[in-house]
A and B are shown apart, each in its own frame.
Chain A
């Protein structure tokens, strides 16, 4: 029986070697993970869970077709590899050709900030309890709260038939504070969330944030909804980041593109999608971001990939399969949320680059507009997007004024990219506690960010 040990990747290499003649390419992964999560709801610690898991998967390519199997029993790796090969054969051939990648042998350990178990579980609970009590003690109209913390520490071993053998440690920590006001059949919430891949102590999670979500929640509870219609909008870095992720990031995922000639046309290299100042990139290099990544699930190093430069398409996100199909280079974007899933093309940290406007210039001269702050999630089908701002302020005479609630921004992605009027000169990447979902795999830790943007003609929903 194989148990998880420090140089397990060498054992996986041996399995791959035994199946080298029966497949074009084969990879074996083993993951061992320990996670903790807890949540306060009101005064009570409603849930406190600890989880441990160990599992693996095998992905095999035979005659250009994939077979995949995942499992919890690690005592039959050869049988599992044989099963993946059989499934791939059953698929009966396919067009998959992997782009070449140099075999890598490496070990990626977590930084010290993540290594040290500085705080015991009891201390983590006590810290969050104090913040939660601060919210509950705020007073009217705040009636209840949620405070949430989760961490997952994983060790992943990868071996491939091409000789790649990597051992990686990964950490994902998230936390959220939510203040809720409920009265007269109306409910209003405001939340703050943060996350990290390197620092388990989450320094952003502090009393100031707890008080600020209460103040904003109280404001929202009394705030009116804006009138529906088309607005000149200023979005903050969090919302700009969500736009980068949802609108351009997903469109740049090459698995959507490589077999879709029409979409490939829209996203063809050199196509002018946005204003000349627009720059968007996806990177694994932002230290501490939840999207930080050294090697993806195929063992490809994850660097920075420029997607839009000078308003034009300059690149896209690849796995080895999509890079092979499009004759481009792999970018290190093949990711999986766990051993239960095969790697697919995913984002890491997606960022709108800096422009030239100062913050003051962004707001200057706006007679009537909306300043949208923070995100409550977004969705896109490629063409249309819908994002919810956490809160928004009416802008009058260049100044953010009255607070409004339940602000939903919708529009056509391509039109909106050309309607960007100004881009701030400073980029902010703030981590949040959510994640990205795609093809049944979610939430995947990702990061995003950007500068303040001024955009005309954004439709705000409502009656």
Chain B
């Protein structure tokens, strides 16, 4: 869009005139359609659009940031950014915005961008029709949405990069209340391509629901646990937080100073991959314009790298390339993108057989209240199943709590990873199932 380009150049000019030695403008616009099914029916259709820009300036080494959606008053936003830079400290050691070849990327998929509202409604109806009759009192639901986005980065070092992207997501959900017992189960994923398997998500939800119709308890004590990919992802949240360059620079992460050390089980090899082909969180460049690359975070349990944006990379003396923004109104911050865990050798069935008498954990509740960066957690098992002698699912385990330390559970106690892997709900995590022994269940 020519007008946007002009807007970006005008903003950079005004920042330079206002004393900014370096400046960067991030423009983003998007449009989405989504349908929401709850309680067996369509609750509404939402068609929304948004656009705005964020501007970051460095004035005499001091950082400032502002954003606006009022595009006829961009000069006010530039002035606000310059104002904020008068109050911050001089960046040490400071950093330079990158230069580089211009990129005009289009990673949108016409097959995705073309998904219509009627098709989204069709997916939702399918879920409701399949899940509702499975048991008395089932409330079936589903959510489906499709979006397109376009963003541009321009900076005073001459970098000009833009990208168009599309994506969609689907999830099926079932809720069932019996007396004061409440069950929630769901499944689904997101992708930049047509490969979200709607039928599979519905069937998986149906299976979880059927397996939950029988309920029981597990005696307190230590049990073998099979973590589903979703539950493994919850636990790996500690590692994700812990390798962010901010926590390392502040020394609030237990992983500070531990590059090259064994921090988790040697069964775990994890990549953080920002490239578009790696998953939903992919793009040709990060949100500061640095070209996409795959980083290995953990090689056989050994910590290989931290994840940084320009500012924190300069502080720590490591490579940048992991800047994200939560939309146009957000300044860049460091963090992971597509999070890919290498599979193990054992078939899932074997893992389950080894965990006989134990528990499958599919969702954990209350993780965010735990001391996650430390790895300590204590959470309710939202959805979990008892495992029979042959690895079969016996019944839904109710009222169980699980506690421990992530670095211990996924360290010495991790026994095996499955050969099978599954994409997570966000479409940016690919994980196996994990067998952990001696997990304290209360």
A and B from one complex:
yes
Residues of chain A whose beta carbon lies under 8 Å from any beta carbon of chain B: 38, 41-42, 44-45, 47-55, 57, 65-73, 83-84, 87-88, 90-92, 94-95, 121-122, 125, 143-144, 180, 182, 185-189, 228-229, 259-263, 266, 340, 342, 376-388, 406, 408, 410, 412-414, 459, 461-463
Please determine whether A65 and B42 come into contact, CB atoms closer than 8 angstroms.
yes
Q: A55-B50, A122-B87 are in contact. List 12 more A-B contacts (CB 8 A).
A: A45-B87, A54-B70, A66-B44, A69-B46, A72-B69, A228-B442, A259-B38, A340-B48, A377-B368, A408-B369, A410-B380, A462-B378
Please determine whether A410 and B371 come into contact, CB atoms closer than 8 angstroms.
no
Q: How far is the CA of A42 from the CA of B41 in the complex (A)?
A: 50
Please determine whether A67 and B70 come into contact, CB atoms closer than 8 angstroms.
no
The 0/1 profile, CB within 8 Å of A marked 1, for residues 18-62 of chain B is 000000000000000000001111111111111110000000000
B351 at interface (Cβ–Cβ under 8 A)?
A: no
- Residue in B51, B180, B374, B379 whose beta carbon sits within 8 Å of that of A386 in the complex: B379
Max chain A C-beta neighbours (<10 A), residue from B64, B66, B179, B369:
B369
- Which of B77-85, B275-283, B298-306, B424-432 binds A? B77-85
Closest-CB distance, A225 to chain B (whole angstroms): 8
Please determine whether A260 and B39 come into contact, CB atoms closer than 8 angstroms.
yes
| Chain A residue nearest in CB terms to B180 | A414
With A180-B252, A182-B251 in contact, do A91 and B371 touch (Cβ < 8 Å)? no
Please determine whether B48 and A69 come into contact, CB atoms closer than 8 angstroms.
yes
Please determine whether A52 and B69 come into contact, CB atoms closer than 8 angstroms.
yes
- Residue in A38, A72, A260, A406 whose beta carbon sits within 8 Å of that of B175 in the complex: A260
- Residue in A49, A187, A263, A408 whose beta carbon sits within 8 Å of that of B373 in the complex: A187
Q: How far is the CA of A412 from the CA of B89 in the complex (A)?
A: 49
Instruction: List 8 A-B pairs, Cβ < 8 Å.
Output: A44-B89, A49-B65, A68-B46, A72-B49, A260-B39, A266-B180, A379-B365, A379-B368
B366 at interface (Cβ–Cβ under 8 A)?
A: yes
Please determine whether A90 and B331 come into contact, CB atoms closer than 8 angstroms.
no
The 0/1 profile, CB within 8 Å of A marked 1, for residues 321-332 of chain B is 000000001010
Please determine whether B73 and A52 come into contact, CB atoms closer than 8 angstroms.
yes
Q: How far is the CA of A66 from the CA of B36 in the complex (A)?
A: 11
Query: Using Cβ atoms and an 8 Å threshold, which residues of chain B touch A92?
Result: 42
B88 at interface (Cβ–Cβ under 8 A)?
A: yes
With A228-B403, A386-B366, A388-B369 in contact, do A381 and B382 touch (Cβ < 8 Å)? yes
Query: Using Cβ atoms and an 8 Å threshold, which residues of chain B touch A45?
Result: 87-89
Tell me the interface secondary structure of chain A in the complex.
strand
| Chain A residue nearest in CB terms to B116 | A90
B246 at interface (Cβ–Cβ under 8 A)?
A: yes
B228 at interface (Cβ–Cβ under 8 A)?
A: no
Nearest 7 CB-CB pairings of A with B = A386-B366, A461-B378, A388-B369, A259-B39, A262-B177, A66-B44, A408-B378
Q: How far is the CA of A385 from the CA of B80 in the complex (A)?
A: 43
Closest-CB distance, B125 to chain A (whole angstroms): 10
B67 at interface (Cβ–Cβ under 8 A)?
A: yes
Query: Using Cβ atoms and an 8 Å threshold, which residues of chain B touch A378?
Result: 366, 369
Please determine whether A186 and B374 come into contact, CB atoms closer than 8 angstroms.
yes
Q: How far is the CA of A38 from the CA of B86 in the complex (A)?
A: 13
Please determine whether A90 and B117 come into contact, CB atoms closer than 8 angstroms.
yes
Closest-CB distance, B366 to chain A (whole angstroms): 3
Q: How far is the CA of A406 from the CA of B121 in the complex (A)?
A: 45
B203 at interface (Cβ–Cβ under 8 A)?
A: no
B13 at interface (Cβ–Cβ under 8 A)?
A: no
Query: Using Cβ atoms and an 8 Å threshold, which residues of chain A touch B139?
Result: 259-260
Query: Using Cβ atoms and an 8 Å threshold, which residues of chain B touch A463?
Result: 403-404, 440
Query: Using Cβ atoms and an 8 Å threshold, which residues of chain A touch B253?
Result: 187
Please determine whether A260 and B67 come into contact, CB atoms closer than 8 angstroms.
no
Closest-CB distance, A414 to chain B (whole angstroms): 5
Please determine whether B47 and A69 come into contact, CB atoms closer than 8 angstroms.
yes
Q: How far is the CA of A408 from the CA of B370 in the complex (A)?
A: 8
Q: How far is the CA of A383 from the CA of B180 in the complex (A)?
A: 7
Please determine whether B401 and A83 come into contact, CB atoms closer than 8 angstroms.
no
Please determine whether B118 and A47 come into contact, CB atoms closer than 8 angstroms.
no
B254 at interface (Cβ–Cβ under 8 A)?
A: yes
Within 8 A of A (CB), among B175-192: 175-182, 184
Please determine whether A388 and B81 come into contact, CB atoms closer than 8 angstroms.
no
Query: Using Cβ atoms and an 8 Å threshold, which residues of chain A touch B42?
Result: 65, 91-92, 94
Max chain B C-beta neighbours (<10 A), residue from A41, A121, A182:
A182
Query: Using Cβ atoms and an 8 Å threshold, which residues of chain A touch B404?
Result: 463
Please determine whether A263 and B177 come into contact, CB atoms closer than 8 angstroms.
yes
Q: How far is the CA of A461 from the CA of B403 in the complex (A)?
A: 6
Closest-CB distance, B380 to chain A (whole angstroms): 5
With A51-B329, A182-B251, A386-B379 in contact, do A88 and B45 touch (Cβ < 8 Å)? yes
Q: How far is the CA of A182 from the CA of B77 in the complex (A)?
A: 38
B399 at interface (Cβ–Cβ under 8 A)?
A: yes
Query: Using Cβ atoms and an 8 Å threshold, which residues of chain A touch B81?
Result: 50
With A65-B42, A259-B39, A381-B182 in contact, do A340 and B50 touch (Cβ < 8 Å)? yes
Query: Using Cβ atoms and an 8 Å threshold, which residues of chain A touch B77?
Result: 52
Please determine whether A72 and B182 come into contact, CB atoms closer than 8 angstroms.
no
With A72-B52, A260-B39, A383-B180 in contact, do A53 and B250 touch (Cβ < 8 Å)? no
With A41-B246, A55-B69, A379-B369 in contact, do A384 and B399 touch (Cβ < 8 Å)? yes
- Residue in A47, A69, A94, A381 whose beta carbon sits within 8 Å of that of B184 in the complex: A381
Please determine whether A121 and B368 come into contact, CB atoms closer than 8 angstroms.
no
Please determine whether B366 and A412 come into contact, CB atoms closer than 8 angstroms.
no
Please determine whether B66 and A50 come into contact, CB atoms closer than 8 angstroms.
yes
B420 at interface (Cβ–Cβ under 8 A)?
A: no
With A52-B70, A388-B366 in contact, do A185 and B65 touch (Cβ < 8 Å)? no
B137 at interface (Cβ–Cβ under 8 A)?
A: yes
Max chain B C-beta neighbours (<10 A), residue from A65, A87, A383, A385:
A383
Q: How far is the CA of A90 from the CA of B43 in the complex (A)?
A: 12
Please determine whether A144 and B87 come into contact, CB atoms closer than 8 angstroms.
no
Q: How far is the CA of A376 from the CA of B87 in the complex (A)?
A: 31
With A71-B50, A91-B42, A406-B376 in contact, do A186 and B254 touch (Cβ < 8 Å)? yes
Please determine whether A50 and B177 come into contact, CB atoms closer than 8 angstroms.
no
With A52-B67, A52-B76 in contact, do A342 and B44 touch (Cβ < 8 Å)? yes
Q: How far is the CA of A71 from the CA of B246 in the complex (A)?
A: 34
Please determine whether B50 and A187 come into contact, CB atoms closer than 8 angstroms.
no
Please determine whether B47 and A87 come into contact, CB atoms closer than 8 angstroms.
yes
With A90-B118, A143-B251, A463-B403 in contact, do A52 and B87 touch (Cβ < 8 Å)? no
| Chain B residue nearest in CB terms to A1 | B72
Q: How far is the CA of A242 from the CA of B124 in the complex (A)?
A: 34
Query: Using Cβ atoms and an 8 Å threshold, which residues of chain A touch B376?
Result: 406
